[in-house]
Amino acid sequence: MDDFLFRGDLAALDPADFMAEWKWDGIRVQAVAAQRAEGTAARLYSRTGEDISKSFPDLLESLRLPGAIDGELLVVRDGRVQSFNVLQQRLNRKTVTPKLLAEFPAHLRAYDLLVDGDQDLRERPFAERRARLEQFVTRLAEPRVDLSPLIAFATWDELARARKNPAAAGAGEDADAVEGVMLKRRDGPYVPGRPKGPWWKWKRDPFIVDAVLMYAQRGSGKRSSYYSDYTFGVWTNGENGDELVPVGKAYFGFTDEELLQIDRYVRRNTVERFGPVREVVHEPETGLVLEVAFEGLQRSTRHKSGLAMRFPRINRLRWDKPPREADRLENIERMLAAIDSTRLAATNRSP
């Protein structure tokens, strides 16, 4: 499965050979249920094979039929898919309280059916597995488990338009939780790993802004000796003129060489220390501008800017740009307004 699908690759493929579905902004899991003498026993596994069942007892209760589902773990509240930031409230929890279960209800959005009862379907064509999945979910009759909708398309241009505007292409109010589209060959078996050909992941184009590095923190593991976690901000009107407000934090997207460059810059331009965090000089004429790519925006009361970015990453280092030329909060607000407007228009068009 490739992360990027180029137009040249599309031109060589027949759209009639493929089916498409939304790629949701959660974590990929496999839900497995087996029949035991005492009843159905269910387990939930991450894409790395880690057993995460203890963290999601509410979802396990919903897996009452023997089988194995490949899908996306999400939090669905009031009928809408929540952001990955909300899902994180349920991840890696040692204790799962009733309050947590009520506030962050787990949900499984099904992509594929690997086992149905005692039948192994992995070698069957995807089109057949999908039909069996629809029947399986219907028999399960469980609101915590539903289908990831297929995307109707006859040409690559139609799929490209759906990818660009999920809200208008059937994702509706859940459009903000769409990362992109998944293409699967109709005749393809279920193959583990990342094989090129049977599956393609085509992510939505990211948003891009120029922001200013404000704070840096040491990383973990191999990066524990380097300042690799960066908080960045954009300009807005303050009481005493323009000021920077943080809008996100990123710790990937740069090369190893760029990591060394930023680490050296942080050490040489530290103006204050707060435990493991260093404040870096960020003045209109002095500072480091980062080109930041991100997948989406949402309102947030946790940040002074009032906004939160989804999956921000460092796209490029702008050594050539003075901080005063970085983006403004008003510009990002306009981005969010455009997203909200598109979502509302799509909702109004829905039957």
pLDDT tens by residue, 288-298: 999 999 987 88
Say yes or no: 154 and 252 in one domain: no
CATH of the domain at 138: 3.30.470.30
pLDDT of residue 197: 67
CA 337 to chain centre: 21
Is the model's pTM score more than 0.85? no
CB 217: neighbour CB atoms within 10 A?
18
Say yes or no: 278 and 153 in one domain: no
Distance CA 99, CA 188 (A): 42
Catalytic member of 23, 203, 222, 304: 23
Confidence of residue 4 (pLDDT cuts 50, 70, 90): very low
Decide if 350 is inside a domain: no
Q: Scanning the structure block, which residue is given the tokens 């219907």? A: 138
Decide if 351 is inside a domain: no
Decide if 251 is inside a domain: yes
Decide if 1 is inside a domain: no
pLDDT of residue 345: 54
Confidence of residue 100 (pLDDT cuts 50, 70, 90): very high
Say yes or no: 220 and 253 in one domain: yes
Decide if 348 is inside a domain: no
Which of 164, 187, 203 is the last residue in one of the domains? 203
In this predicted model, what pLDDT tens digit does every residue of 39-60 receive, in sequence order?
678 999 998 888 999 999 999 9
Say yes or no: 45 and 175 in one domain: yes
Average pLDDT over residues 81-107: 86
Locate all alpha helices (DSSP H) within 63-217, ordered by sequence: 84-87, 98-103, 126-140, 156-164
Domain that holds residue 36: 7-203
Say yes or no: 172 and 220 in one domain: no
Say yes or no: 194 and 264 in one domain: no
Q: Which of 101-105, 151-155, 209-213, 294-298 has the lowest mean pLDDT?
A: 294-298
Q: Check if 304 is active-site.
A: no
Which of 166, 187, 203 is the last residue in one of the domains? 203
Which of 142, 172, 203 is the last residue in one of the domains? 203
161 pLDDT more than 80: yes
Decide if 87 is inside a domain: yes
Who's near 15: CB < 8 A, 6+ residues apart? Answer: 153, 154, 155, 156, 159
Decide if 188 is inside a domain: yes
If one counts the domains in the chain, the total is 2
pLDDT of residue 296: 79
Say yes or no: 174 and 222 in one domain: no
Average pLDDT over residues 237-262: 92
Percent residues over pLDDT 70 in the chain: 92
Say yes or no: 152 and 233 in one domain: no
Decide if 15 is inside a domain: yes
In this predicted model, what pLDDT tens digit does every residue of 180-230 receive, in sequence order?
899 999 999 998 765 556 788 887 778 899 999 999 999 988 888 999 999
168 pLDDT more than 50: yes
1 pLDDT more than 50: no
Say yes or no: 249 and 301 in one domain: yes
